[in-house]
Structure 1
Amino acid sequence: ERVLARLDLARFYFAHGMGFEALSILEHVSKALPEIEVYPDFLALRGGARLLTGRVPDGMQDLSHESLKEQPDVVLWRGVGAALLRDWKASGELFDLSIDAFYGYPEPLRTRFMLLAVEAAIATDSDKAASEWLARIEEKEYPVSAKPAVRYLRGVLYSKAGHAELAEKLWRQVARGTDRLYKIRAELALVDLGVATKSLTPAQAVDRLEGLRFAWRGDDLEFDILRRLGGYYLEAKDFKGGFAVLTQALRLFPSSVQGTTLRGQMVKTFHDIYMTELGGDLSPIDALSLYTDYKTLIPAGEEGNDVRRNLSERLVDIDLLDQASKLLEDLIKNSTKPEEKARTLSRLAGIKLLDHKADAALALLDQSQADVATLSQEIKDERQLLRARALSETGKYQEALAVLPAGSGQSTLLLRADMALRAKQWGDATKALMELVGPPPKAGAALREEQAQWLIHAAIAMAQNADFTGLDKLASDYSTAMDKTSKANLFHVLTRPEKMTQMKDIYAAQSRLTEVDMFRGVLDSYRKDKKN
């Protein structure tokens, strides 16, 4: 009898929405009489009380017991639980199965539950059903305390139907009211409407929402405020501000059902900042800072590698070679395809050479030497060129010659000429340069500008080597063609130095020859990723 009396008291509290009082009694009864937990009536009562006190998962466990599944009242309460968990689809379906059960509850529970049904219908774009639920609320006298909620939700339906002015009117009424929950929700809706109708810019929306940021703490509404605020920061191109707010939302609400979706949106936005026009106005320095601060948002797999490639190119463009190198090191670590990894490593070695770090380039090439056998011949030749250049920069001319790839491709000849010039091996330099130039053009044909420059270098090398026979032949074979280039005068000075007044020009050209970087154009090609 004592237990029954306590259960009756718990039912009384529960019927009046006093969840904590009801649950306290039920837990006391459960401790005193553990076997009562198998009774459907007890489970239904405790499940409902748990929902009222915010212990939603525990309540849903009670209400999902096999013995309760067909009871209309329990179906309704499971709908309430699903709504509290923001499982709007399940909630809407359960509410539709238990319409009659709503009318068995006194106020304010009936209206409270029907408002959840409206929310579920709106969330699943069942606007007709939402309107019908609102009509059910309004067909009878309902608590004054629910009026802000009804007006707010009616405004949502107006907005979805394209009646922005009617929606705004209702939301402004609610925003001027004293119900804190719906006052804030109405303010959020007004900001969204303002941006949608272009009466507010994203930056102005940020200012409005910053005022709401600390107005509501600790539940899904705070998450919604932060989500919207972060989104408007991003729309205003304040990417750091946006990601900071959204990261805070995920940190404060790690179990939010919207968390996974929000993080996915953040990752996509991060990708788009680097790979589309979205981040086009970001300076390379700001792009690097954003990347460094929010590395955790780099997409997985190839999309993330594309971000690293793009940013590394932007950094190389402004000669931030150390920072670009770190990105390429990340790219190498995250590459799963051997050929692609080898290309990136070659690019990194090339950038080290651009940065005059020959020893670092050699170390990179050495550490991956074991993988060379599986690579294509193109990449093998590329690596040999880079190794030869690095050895040449460290003064090891003969070692560099030994590793040059076979053949007479332009890159190989350029490097061969460059190495010989650096080592003052004038005969070797002349031979490589003349191979680059090729045979004299046919009568009337012009030389390309680069051929003309190579001929100038060859003439200086011949002069340094006292190869006057070679200079005479050079003048005989190429003078006519050189006359059509911008290097004509210098060529004639170098190949026909009869007047002593011209000797100062010759000495000046000769003194600069060892400073010429014949291979620079090849190295500069590593500024851009060959995949892009």
Structure 2
Amino acid sequence: MARFVSLVALALTAGSPLAAFEPDKEVHDAPAGPTHNETEEHSPGPVATTSQTLPRFAAELAQRPLYAGATAWRVEGNARDRWIAARAERRQSARWDYARAMLGKGNAAEAFGILTLMEEDDADLALVPAFQLAKGVAHAMLRRNSDALAVLSGPGLRDNAEACAWRLRALVQRGDAGEALDEVECALPAINGRRDRSRIPFVLAAAEAAVNAGRPGMAMRWLGPLTDRDPAANLLRGRAYLALGEAQAGRLRLERALLDGTAEQQADARLALLEGEIDGGTLSPAQAIEKLEAVRFGWRGGPVEERALRRELKLAVASNDTAATLRSAATLIAYFEPRRDAGELLEQARAALSAVLAPDSSVPLAQAAGLYWDYRDLAPAGPEGDRLVARLAGRLQDAGLYERAADLLDHQLRTRAQDVVQGPLSVKVASLRILAGQPEKAIQVLRETEQAGYSNRMQWDRKRVEAVALHIIGKPEAAMAALEDVPGADLLLAEFAWKDAAWEQFATANGAALPGAGALDAPDQAQILRQAIALAMLGREEALVALRNRYSKAFEALPSAAVFDVLTRAVGSVDPATVSEAMGAIPSASPAGGIADLLDAAPDE
């Protein structure tokens, strides 16, 4: 027990993860071969704390020969024990041996941790090709392909066979088959230099690159030395045979992989068999897409799902299946490492989305709105994307789908609009919320987007909509407070009173805003005729006579002259039926403008 505690203490002071004390595990997919031999041993002694500055190691490592093959990844003796026991002056060298040993055993996560620790103590290591090679190998083993390629492509590694071999594997893992084949010639010395099972992953990578690049004959030549009982090799053989037109031989190899392969290899085999059916023309695009979805349901992630998605996307685009196009493109963009065609893929998705939302689209409006909502992150940025959203929101509003239109623009308001641009959009969203019977949400969106930078005109527009919402939810005092200092507030307050049949309040507010006695447009006429009704309801005979005398000449030549004559007669001199008929003939244009239309359209509470 005492020895275990001391070992833990040594590991901690050396900056080691406790995983260093786990037994080494042999990994099938690991490079191996003869190695650099660091023979200097050190007996256990005082161990420096992590705060102690270690001697620089970059120059020493740069002076060592750069490995050209698998010799980099095998270390004689127990590298872990030497690392734990190393004094400060040799600790970086011991760490280096231990990291190489971990890469040789396929323990990339442990190796990467040690390499990171080394770089923290000596930043210049990042400039040393040997260190770059080790770090790139760790990235590739961990399937961090872009990181691996970035590190392995430095000037000092460009023509290094071992770096080329690992770039080959990283490119295949990322799906760039053509670029991977470009690395083959450089990588050959490193691949051929491996005489044990560590050679197999590189051979499989080269064969996969050839299959994916449409060169099945080359793939078969790479696979020739591998046993016929290797499921990974059989997978590639099966795909190559199918590409060569030898369907029977291809199915046999793939069915064998189904029997003894891993779960991922079995999914790969099912996909390859399905690809053979698709290429053979035995399935319609819809049937093929459905079966590809089934393959994806059974296996998520990795190159298998990516290949299924890319085949699905190709079929969907060819058959104008917009929903499948968006689904497959969105999944590829969101969950898989970008390739060189990332820009083209995004443009395909955006074109499909724009086609769905076009006015002449055959996709039903509700379905189009659902597709946009599901894939809104694919929408174009900037003004083009704003126009797309505005067009869809307008169509939804015209169809009476106010809540969906509000949801759409609310997302735009909160995720895309910036600063004062939120002003007009917030008014639109709040108006749609009112039309959808959600006045509380209208008030909420206005208050959450409040800012000092709005112009006076924009502030007034926002206050008018807020006042309407407050009036609808039964808060007239708050509505009046919202309209304080807003130009034209009397007309809106009069509109509220008219809707509520509050004749006293209406006569006061409306009377203060009556037009002059000159030419009268439709809203002016409606305002005067409403005033006449309110005065009649209140029994204000003198005020009614004054109204008649003030505007009788202006109404003489207007179509509403008869209505004015009826409504301004002496109170009680006209029968109720005539008055009711005259009220129905009042021009519909409201003196309060579009904001009154909002009140008219709002659902009854």
TM-score range, shorter chain: 0.5 to 0.7
Letter in 1 for 2:275: L
Q: 1:496 to 1:110 in 2, by over 3 A?
A: same
Q: 1:98 to 1:463 in 2, by over 3 A?
A: same
| Structure 1: distance between partners of 2:479 and 2:293 | 67
Q: 1:48 to 1:95 in 2, by over 3 A?
A: farther
Deviations 1:89-119 (CA, angstroms, capped at 9, x unpaired) = 6633321324577778899999986674465
| Structure 1: distance between partners of 2:225 and 2:362 | 57
Q: 1:213 to 1:77 in 2, by over 3 A?
A: same
Find the counterpart in structure 2 of residue 225 from structure 1.
308
Question: Which moves more between the two structures, 178-187 or 315-324?
Answer: 315-324
Find the counterpart in structure 2 of residue 11 from structure 1.
none
Find the counterpart in structure 1 of residue 554 from structure 2.
477
Find the counterpart in structure 1 of residue 423 from structure 2.
342
| Structure 1: distance between partners of 2:441 and 2:357 | 35
Does the CA-based 8 Å contact 2:402-2:432 persist in structure 1? yes
Does the CA-based 8 Å contact 2:526-2:590 persist in structure 1? no
Find the counterpart in structure 2 of residue 91 from structure 1.
180
Equivalent positions of 1:18-33 (< 5 A) are: 19=28, 30=76, 32=78
Residues 1:204 and 2:287 aligned together: yes
**3-state SS in 2 of match to 1:471:** helix
Q: 1:49 to 1:469 in 2, by over 3 A?
A: closer
Q: 1:187 aligns with which of 268, 274, 277?
A: 274
Per-residue deviation at 1:382? Answer: 1.6
Equivalent positions of 1:363-402 (< 5 A) are: 371-372=451-452, 374-386=453-465, 389=468, 394-396=475-477, 399=480
Letter in 1 for 2:557: T
Find the counterpart in structure 2 of residue 161 from structure 1.
none
Find the counterpart in structure 1 of residue 579 from structure 2.
506
Q: 1:262 to 1:208 in 2, by over 3 A?
A: farther
Deviations 1:481-512 (CA, angstroms, capped at 9, x unpaired) = 31xxxx57645644679997864130465599
Deviations 1:333-353 (CA, angstroms, capped at 9, x unpaired) = 446633122333333444455
Equivalent positions of 1:310-459 (< 5 A) are: 331-334=412-415, 337-351=418-432, 353-354=434-435, 371-372=451-452, 374-386=453-465, 389=468, 394-396=475-477, 399=480, 403=484, 405-406=486-487, 414-415=491-492, 417-419=494-496, 421-422=498-499, 423-424=502-503, 425-426=506-507, 428-429=509-510, 432=513, 434=515, 439-440=518-519, 453=526, 456-457=529-530, 459=532
Find the counterpart in structure 2 of residue 257 from structure 1.
337
Equivalent positions of 1:16-55 (< 5 A) are: 19=28, 30=76, 32=78, 50=106
Does the CA-based 8 Å contact 1:274-1:311 persist in structure 2? no
What runs of 5+ residues in structure 2 fail to find an aligned partner? Answer: 1-26, 36-72, 84-92, 112-135, 143-147, 258-267, 601-605
Letter in 2 for 1:505: T
Does the CA-based 8 Å contact 2:75-2:100 persist in structure 1? no
Q: 1:33 to 1:274 in 2, by over 3 A?
A: closer
| Structure 2: distance between partners of 1:325 and 1:398 | 22
Q: Pairwise CA RMSD of aligned residues?
A: 6.5
What runs of 5+ residues in structure 1 fail to find an aligned partner? Answer: 1-17, 157-166, 442-446, 528-532
| Structure 1: distance between partners of 2:409 and 2:526 | 34
**3-state SS in 2 of match to 1:418:** helix
**3-state SS in 1 of match to 2:423:** helix
| Structure 2: distance between partners of 1:504 and 1:495 | 15
Letter in 1 for 2:458: I
Bigger helix fraction: 1
Per-residue deviation at 1:257? Answer: 3.4
TM-score normalised over the length of structure 2: 0.52
TM-score normalised over the length of structure 1: 0.58
Per-residue deviation at 1:386? Answer: 3.5
Q: 1:102 to 1:309 in 2, by over 3 A?
A: same
Equivalent positions of 1:226-305 (< 5 A) are: 228-229=311-312, 236-238=321-323, 242=327, 257-258=337-338, 269=349, 273=353, 277=357, 281=363, 283-284=365-366, 287=369, 291=373
| Structure 2: distance between partners of 1:21 and 1:362 | 63
Per-residue deviation at 1:458? Answer: 5.2
Letter in 2 for 1:220: P
Q: 1:206 to 1:365 in 2, by over 3 A?
A: closer
Does the CA-based 8 Å contact 1:325-1:348 persist in structure 2? yes
Does the CA-based 8 Å contact 1:175-1:184 persist in structure 2? no
Residues 1:82 and 2:183 aligned together: no
Letter in 2 for 1:221: V
| Structure 2: distance between partners of 1:21 and 1:474 | 98
Per-residue deviation at 1:220? Answer: 2.0
Q: How many residues of Structure 1 are paired with residues of Structure 2 in the alignment?
A: 461
Find the counterpart in structure 1 of residue 250 from structure 2.
174
**3-state SS in 2 of match to 1:481:** coil
Does the CA-based 8 Å contact 1:287-1:311 persist in structure 2? yes
| Structure 1: distance between partners of 2:599 and 2:311 | 42
Does the CA-based 8 Å contact 2:430-2:465 persist in structure 1? yes
Question: Which moves more between the two structures, 421-430 or 314-323?
Answer: 314-323
Q: 1:24 to 1:103 in 2, by over 3 A?
A: closer
Letter in 1 for 2:182: E
Deviations 1:399-425 (CA, angstroms, capped at 9, x unpaired) = 469725336xxxx67536524635423
Per-residue deviation at 1:378? Answer: 1.8
**How many percent identity over aligned positions?**
18
Does the CA-based 8 Å contact 1:73-1:98 persist in structure 2? yes
Letter in 2 for 1:480: A
Does the CA-based 8 Å contact 2:548-2:568 persist in structure 1? yes
Letter in 1 for 2:486: P
| Structure 2: distance between partners of 1:493 and 1:101 | 104
Equivalent positions of 1:151-170 (< 5 A) are: 152-153=239-240, 169-170=245-246
**3-state SS in 2 of match to 1:480:** coil
Does the CA-based 8 Å contact 1:440-1:477 persist in structure 2? yes
